[in-house]
Structure 1
C-alpha cells in the first residue's frame, strides 16, 4: 500500500456491476442447481474481464469486483454481508428478510439494541418514500433471507476465499496490475445476524472475530491487501431506536473495534485497509452520525488505510474534519471522490477539487482517490464505469496541480 510519490493513485471500494452471465450463475448457485466449482467457472471469466476493465480505465489498485461474493441480482445492497452466509458454520436458514421484517426492539439508556431495517430512524422519518416502490429509495431489490446463529460459529469458506485470491492474482498478472485487494466482512458486521446461541454481545462479536480472521489471514498471506468492510461502525447508529447518546454509541462501537483489532493481530498493517460507510441504499440518510464523532475511534483500527464516504450529499463537507484530527504518520486515506448514491456522473474537475481539498489537510502523498462505496448492485453498469473514468481523469488533473 505505497504512498503517492509522483501522482494521485486511484482505487474503489470493491463491488462492481456483475455481468448477466454471472448474475445467472449466482442465481443457479443459490437455488442449488450448480455447486461452487461450477460457479467458479463463471467467476474465472468474469474476474479476468473486470480486472481488464479496471486497468483500461486507469484504476491503480484493483480487485475482483467482489464477484466471489454471492449476489441476489443486479440490485443488491447487501452482498458485502450476505456472502458470509455461505462461508460460516453454525447458521440455520430462515425466511426472514431484515430489510422488510420489522422487529420492534427498543433500546434503553446505556443498553444498545439493534433494530431491523423497517424500524430504523431514517425510515421512520421518510416512511412514505421508503415504502413507495417507484421512489427509487430501495429500488427493485430481491428479497434475501438472513439466517440465525444456532451453534458455535466456524469458518467454512476456505475453498471460496482461495478462489477469490487465485482469480484476482491471475487477472492482475494478465493485465499488468501490481496492487490488488480483496474485501472481507468485519466482526462487527458479521455479528448483526440474529443470535440464538451466544450468551452475550461480547461473546458473539469475538466469535465473529475468530472466524473472520481466517479469511483476513488467507488474503494477506497471498500478498494481497484485505479491505475490512465495516458499515456497522457508522451505520448502526441509525439502527438504534430511540437515538442513543453519542457516548453510549461509542462504547457499543468500541467493542467492535477491539474485536476487529484482535482479529487483525500480527497481520501486516501495510496490507490492511478499513472501509467505513453509512449504508449504501439510496435513502435520505438524515440520521447518519457525523464523521467527527467517529474519526478518532476509526484511527485506532490497526490498518494502514482508511476508506470512507466523502462525496455523498450527507458527507461531502466532512473533509474539514481532518483539520482538527491529524492523520497519524504512515497512514493513508481513501476518501470517496465519486458517489454510489446518485446517477449523476461527477465532473472530473469536481473530482480534482475534492482531491485537492483532502491533500490540503492530510498531504498529497496520503490521498488515494476512491469511491464512496461499492458501485456494483447500486448503479447501472454504464454509469458505474463512467464514474470510475471520471475518478481517474480527476486524479490526473489533481496530480498535475499537486506534483
Structure 2
C-alpha cells in the first residue's frame, strides 16, 4: 500500500458515475426486463475505458475501474453466487422515517429516476456458493488491460490501483435469510464465498477495498429497534468473518471503507464512531477509509487520537462530501486533511479521499457528473495545498 511519504496522495471510494445508457441497461436488468448480456458487457467495458483517464486527469493517484462493470457495490453478488432468488423490501432508514415531509420529498425525487435500488434486493433461498470466478477475473483483467494499454502508449497512470468488494455483513443484512438455520451460518457461508472474490482481486496485484457500510449503517436500519449491544455483537462477528476471509492476503494490501449510508438525510440516528471504532480497527487491514466531510461526523476525527488504530494503519480521510453538489473549496479540503494529520501526528499515514462513492448503485448518485469531476479536482488541489504545509 502506497503511503504519503512526501505529499498527500489522492484517492476516492470506488463508484463513479456511469453513462446514462449503461445505467438504463442495469436498471432494466435489475427489474427483470429482457436485456442482452453482451450489450451490457460492451457498454460496461466502454465505460471502463473512459473512466480511467478521467480519474487521472482529475489528479487521482490511487484509482480504480469506477465499478462501471457492476450494477452496484454489492448487488453484483447475486450474479456471482448461488442461493439467491425472489425479492423483498429492505427495512426503512430510521432517520428518514422520523421526518415524513422529507421522506415524501425523497420518494418523489427518486420515483421517476432510472436506477438500481439497493432497497429491493433478493432473498437467500438456497446454499451460497461462489460461481462467478470467471466474471470476477474478467473484471480484473479488463482493468489491467486498460492500465497496461495506457502504459504502452506512454500515458500517465495511477500510482496504485484498487478494486472493491463488499463486506459479507452488508450481504447478510440486505439479503433476507430464508434458508440458513442461523445468521452465523449464513454469515459464514457468505464469508467463504466472498473470499474467492477477495483473493481474485489480490492475486492480480490490485489493492483490495472492502466496502463495509453495514458496520455503521445497519445500526439505524436492521438494528434500529434493538439494543446497541446487539448491533455491536453483529459488528464483531462480521469483523471476525472478514478476518478469516482475508487470511491469505497481507494486511498492507487491503483497505476497508465504512460509512453511515451514502445519502443526504438527517443522519441523527447514526451510531457514533467512538462506539464502533474499537471493533472495526481489529480488522486485519492496512487502511481505514472513513468519512470526515460528512457534517454529522466531521467532528469524529478526534476518535483517532492516541492508539485508537494500529501504528501501521493508514487513514484514507473522506474530505469531500459525496452527497451534495457543493464543490468544496481547495482550502477547505486542505484544512480537513491537516486536521486528520494533526490528530494522527503523522502526515505520512494520511491519504485524501471522498466520504463514499458517487454512484453506489447505478443511477442512485445525487451529485451531477460534471460536479463529481469538479469535486475530485478540488480534492487534488486541496491535497497539494496541504502537502506544501505538512511536508
Deviations 1:328-377 (A, max 9, x none): 12210111010112111110000000000011122100000000000122
Assess if the C-alpha contact under 8 Å between 2:288 and 2:314 holds in 1. yes
Assess if the C-alpha contact under 8 Å between 2:59 and 2:377 holds in 1. yes
Structure 1 residues 246-255 or 378-387, which shifts more? 246-255
Displacement of 1:248 in angstroms is: 3.2
Relative to structure 1, the CA distance from residue 249 to residue 241 in structure 2 (aligned partners, 3 Å threshold; closer, same or farther) is: closer
Assess if the C-alpha contact under 8 Å between 2:212 and 2:259 holds in 1. yes
Displacement of 1:29 in angstroms is: 4.9
Structure 1 residues 356-365 or 134-143, which shifts more? 134-143
C-alpha distance in 1 between matches for 2:223 and 2:282 = 27
Map of 1:157 onto structure 2: 132
- Count of residue pairs brought into register by the alignment: 374
C-alpha distance in 2 between matches for 1:396 and 1:167 = 31
Map of 2:89 onto structure 1: 97
- Say yes or no: does 1:368 pair with 2:351: yes
Relative to structure 1, the CA distance from residue 91 to residue 369 in structure 2 (aligned partners, 3 Å threshold; closer, same or farther) is: same
C-alpha distance in 2 between matches for 1:21 and 1:246 = 43
Q: Map of 1:224-373 to 2, 5 A cutoff?
A: 224-240=206-222, 243-362=225-344, 363-373=346-356
Q: Map of 1:4-403 to 2, 5 A cutoff?
A: 4-27=4-27, 29-30=29-30, 31-35=33-37, 37-70=38-71, 79-94=72-87, 96-98=88-90, 116-117=91-92, 120-133=93-106, 140=113, 142=115, 144=117, 145-173=120-148, 174=150, 175-192=156-173, 193-240=175-222, 243-362=225-344, 363-376=346-359, 377-403=365-391
Assess if the C-alpha contact under 8 Å between 2:45 and 2:68 holds in 1. no
Counterpart secondary structure, 1:82:
coil
Relative to structure 1, the CA distance from residue 267 to residue 184 in structure 2 (aligned partners, 3 Å threshold; closer, same or farther) is: same
C-alpha distance in 1 between matches for 2:112 and 2:12 = 23
CA RMSD of aligned residues (A): 2.0
Q: What TM-score do the two structures reach when normalised by structure 2? A: 0.90
Structure 1 residues 304-313 or 151-160, which shifts more? 151-160
Deviations 1:282-328 (A, max 9, x none): 21111011111111111100110110111111011111111244331
Structure 1 residues 389-398 or 161-170, which shifts more? 161-170
C-alpha distance in 2 between matches for 1:195 and 1:51 = 37
Map of 1:101 onto structure 2: none
C-alpha distance in 2 between matches for 1:43 and 1:322 = 38
Relative to structure 1, the CA distance from residue 97 to residue 248 in structure 2 (aligned partners, 3 Å threshold; closer, same or farther) is: closer
Q: What TM-score do the two structures reach when normalised by structure 1? A: 0.88
Structure 1 residues 304-313 or 237-246, which shifts more? 237-246
Displacement of 1:40 in angstroms is: 2.2
Assess if the C-alpha contact under 8 Å between 1:8 and 1:365 holds in 2. yes
C-alpha distance in 1 between matches for 2:58 and 2:223 = 43
Counterpart secondary structure, 2:73:
helix
Counterpart secondary structure, 1:368:
strand
Relative to structure 1, the CA distance from residue 136 to residue 282 in structure 2 (aligned partners, 3 Å threshold; closer, same or farther) is: farther
C-alpha distance in 2 between matches for 1:375 and 1:360 = 28
Map of 1:106 onto structure 2: none
Counterpart secondary structure, 1:369:
strand
Relative to structure 1, the CA distance from residue 243 to residue 141 in structure 2 (aligned partners, 3 Å threshold; closer, same or farther) is: farther
C-alpha distance in 2 between matches for 1:210 and 1:142 = 30
C-alpha distance in 2 between matches for 1:177 and 1:242 = 41
Relative to structure 1, the CA distance from residue 242 to residue 311 in structure 2 (aligned partners, 3 Å threshold; closer, same or farther) is: closer
C-alpha distance in 1 between matches for 2:41 and 2:304 = 43
Counterpart secondary structure, 1:273:
strand
Relative to structure 1, the CA distance from residue 262 to residue 153 in structure 2 (aligned partners, 3 Å threshold; closer, same or farther) is: same
